[in-house]
């Protein structure tokens, strides 16, 4: 395949680039490098530093492409609460600009990195793709609104799409700036100090999925020959208390760490766990890396990184 990846210098994007290059695909990346924490990506891919606001650049990069993997986004819930207009501009307006460029260049497939945030506080867990969507923050709302755009562009213009609703992605290579995700924060605090800070007393139940499993889901969705607009949960299907995850990190690292509660944090659902039966049935995907193994790999990555 000849592919364009938006946000391909980011955490998930860089992992996807590596998997695609390993598979012999021709990869072009567009990234503005604003939050990835990187200035490069896999040397086998072509990196173009630019913005999705640039329609002419998008049309140029889409020439003769088979599929687009759309990962670029304003992806931090806290920032979306502080700057909701920016969240909708980045995650909806620029996404539609990408779809328009695809329409003009005749590119007929897009794999979209959506989010479990579209569900808000679900009425049941594990949550299924067809369950009620009621986002509780601007980030989730912007992600869900773009899914509607994908549906419209399929029915109106024949652009096929799959929206992959990621749950909590973790793993090696997360260089997000600023660091807001729990697992990389906790690991780095644990390796450099003696305290891990949690919210809500660590009682929230989340679904964590390893980044390489997420990359595989993207590639399987791109390879799928079915037409239409489809949505898939991408998670482990296994809910874990955040406190238990913190204790697992403490056990693996082997330090006498203090776990301190920081109280409430707005924008977070209390329980959010994926039902992954649909993606298993339709794409033949299932997670391979269990949480404990994934945390060990992630801790090894940050241990080496902190030595540099």
Interval 183-236: pLDDT, tens:
999 999 999 999 999 999 999 999 999 999 999 999 999 999 999 999 999 999
Q: How many beta carbons lie within 10 A of that of residue 210, not counting itself? A: 24
**pLDDT at res. 3:** 98
The catalytic position among 112, 139, 208, 302 is: 139
**Nearest of 114, 121, 122 to residue 149 by alpha carbon:** 114
Query: Is the pLDDT confidence value at 36 over 80?
Result: no
Query: Is the pLDDT confidence value at 89 over 80?
Result: yes
Query: Six-digit token pair at 65?
Result: 């492409």
- pTM of this structure: 0.96
Helix axes 11-22, 211-223, angle to 10 degrees: 60
Cα separation, 105 vs 68, in Å, equals: 12
Looking at per-residue pLDDT, the higher value among 179 and 201 belongs to 201
Average pLDDT rounded to a whole number, residues 295-300: 98
Q: Active site includes 139? A: yes
**pLDDT at res. 40:** 86
Q: How confident is the model at residue 293 (pLDDT cuts 50, 70, 90)?
A: very high
CA 15 to centroid of chain Cα atoms: 11
Q: Computed from CA positions of residues 77, 61, 98, 231, in that sequence, does the dihedral angle turn out positive or negative?
A: negative
> Of the ranges 91-105, 165-179, 226-240, which one carries the lowest mean pLDDT score?
165-179
**Nearest of 166, 206, 199 to residue 185 by alpha carbon:** 199
**pLDDT at res. 75:** 87
Query: Is the pLDDT confidence value at 238 over 80?
Result: yes
Query: Is the pLDDT confidence value at 57 over 80?
Result: yes
Query: Is the pLDDT confidence value at 56 over 80?
Result: yes
Query: Six-digit token pair at 261?
Result: 């509660």
Q: How confident is the model at residue 63 (pLDDT cuts 50, 70, 90)?
A: very high
CA 265 to centroid of chain Cα atoms: 21
Q: What is the DSSP string of 150-192?
A: HHHHHHHH--EEEEEEE-EEE-TT---SS---HHHHHHHHHHH
Q: What is the DSSP letter of 121?
A: S
Q: How many beta carbons lie within 10 A of that of residue 212, not counting itself? A: 21
Exposed e or buried b for every residue in 128-141, given b needs 16+ CB within 10 A? ebebebebbbbbbb
Query: Six-digit token pair at 229?
Result: 């607009």
Q: How confident is the model at residue 104 (pLDDT cuts 50, 70, 90)?
A: very high
| CB distance 103 to 55 below 8 Å | no
| CB distance 14 to 43 below 8 Å | no
Mean pLDDT of the chain: 95
Percent of the chain with pLDDT over 70: 100
Q: How confident is the model at residue 162 (pLDDT cuts 50, 70, 90)?
A: very high
Q: How confident is the model at residue 11 (pLDDT cuts 50, 70, 90)?
A: very high
Cα separation, 142 vs 86, in Å, equals: 10
**pLDDT at res. 307:** 83
**pLDDT at res. 231:** 98
């Amino acid at each position: 395949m000849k592919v364009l990846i938006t946000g391909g210098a980011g955490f998930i994007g860089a992992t996807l680039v590596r998997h695609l290059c390993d598979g012999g695909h021709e990869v072009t990346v567009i990234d503005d490098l604003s939050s990835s924490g990187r200035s490069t990506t896999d040397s086998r891919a072509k990196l173009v530093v630019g913005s999705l606001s640039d329609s002419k650049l998008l049309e140029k990069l889409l020439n003769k492409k088979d599929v687009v993997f759309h990962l670029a986004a304003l992806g931090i819930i806290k920032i979306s609460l502080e700057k909701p207009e920016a969240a909708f501009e980045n995650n909806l307006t620029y996404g539609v600009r990408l779809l328009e460029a695809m329409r003009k260049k005749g590119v007929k497939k897009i794999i979209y990195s959506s989010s479990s945030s579209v569900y808000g506080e679900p009425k049941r867990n594990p949550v299924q793709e067809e369950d009620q969507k009621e986002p509780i923050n601007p980030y989730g709302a912007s992600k869900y609104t773009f899914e509607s755009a994908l549906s419209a562009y399929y029915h109106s213009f024949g652009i096929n799409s799959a929206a992959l609703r990621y749950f909590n992605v973790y793993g090696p290579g997360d260089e997000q700036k600023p660091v807001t995700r729990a697992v990389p924060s906790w690991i780095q605090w644990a390796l450099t100090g003696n305290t891990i800070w949690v919210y809500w007393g660590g009682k929230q139940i989340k679904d964590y999925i390893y980044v390489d499993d997420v990359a595989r889901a993207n590639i399987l969705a791109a390879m799928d020959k079915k037409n239409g607009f489809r949505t898939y949960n991408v998670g482990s299907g296994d809910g874990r208390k955040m406190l238990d995850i913190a204790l697992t990190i403490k056990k693996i690292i082997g330090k006498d760490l203090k776990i301190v509660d920081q109280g409430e944090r707005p924008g977070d659902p209390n329980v959010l766990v994926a039902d992954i039966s649909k993606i298993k049935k339709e794409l033949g995907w299932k997670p391979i890396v269990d949480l404990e193994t994934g945390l060990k790999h992630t801790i090894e990555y940050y241990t080496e990184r902190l030595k540099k």
